[in-house]
Amino acid sequence: MAQASTAATPNEGAMPLMDHLRELRSRIFKSLLGIILGAAVAWAFYEQIFEFIVDPIETVADEFEARGYNVQLTLTGVTAPFLLQVKISLMAGFILSSPVWIYQLWSFVTPGLHKHERRYALLFVVFAVPLFLTGVAMALWIMPKGLSILLGFVPSESVSSFLSVDGYLSFAIRVMAVFGLGFLLPVVIVGLNFMGILSADAIRRSWRWSIIGVFLFSAVATPTPDPFTMLMLALPLLVLLLIAFGICLLNDRRKSRRSTEPDYDSLSDDEASPIGGAEDVDGVTPIDRPDPIDDP
């Protein structure tokens, strides 16, 4: 007699480890390819990009020169100009290719999602790229203020400040990366909420720690010790986090209206559910207690 067998249907989001590694390799390759193509475009416009990057330090140098101080950018070494062009081209390529690597970064988690959740990857890119570029633009805007504070520690007019272009470039990259990636945090929070990993109630319960974390991150990440630069990063992040919380709250309410599951979030951890002969709660009819078993 033949025995019927039913093939097990794999989970929609299941993926073996080797497939995950191959997926990661593919995403990294595509991201690097986007950065290289962006760097090639930046190489062709190197002079314009260089003038744009050094504009903050030149603005500060002009202000200090009017007060009798000497601030200059310097290059040392025969290969320094070539290496400088390579670094600036790669940095500009990283920024220009932000839609590519942001999409690849977010899409890496989509093999573990259901089909109806994968459409959020495109929305993630649509909102993440402008926020990342806004953070970079804000970093360039406040950079003269930070440079002015740091160079203000020069002891006297007789001391000249000869700044290495490599050192200044590293400073600029760090500031732009911190502001750009910091502005991505609210989009990540909303994305985790839409994936069902982070609820709005969890965000609400930890709002005090979120504020402390934002200020600690801003204090550590900003390169200057003044409170102005820290607030210029912390305050926009707090506003964006508040907007992200509002979006997560609306999304959770939308999901709760469509869901047929009971609202477990309204119950505290030590509250007993109305099961087993308890009194009616919110109009829900309790389950009758089972009849006691007669003693033998």
Report pLDDT for 38.
92
Alpha-carbon gap, residue 84 to 125, rounded angstroms: 30
Range picked from 110-124, 142-156, 267-281 for highest mean pLDDT: 142-156
Q: Is residue 77 part of a domain?
A: yes
Report pLDDT for 33.
93
Domain count, the chain: 1
Q: Is residue 85 part of a domain?
A: yes
Closest Cα partner for 63 from 169, 170, 154?
Answer: 154
Alpha-carbon gap, residue 144 to 142, rounded angstroms: 6
Whether residue 160 has pLDDT greater than 90: no
Give the mean pLDDT of 192-204: 82
For residue 93, with 0-12 CB atoms within 10 Å meaning exposed, 13-18 middle and 19 or more buried, which class applies? buried
What average pLDDT does the structure give for the chain?
77
120 residue type, one letter: Y
> CA neighbours within 13 Å on the CB side: how many for 36?
6
Report pLDDT for 118.
60
Q: Is residue 74 part of a domain?
A: yes
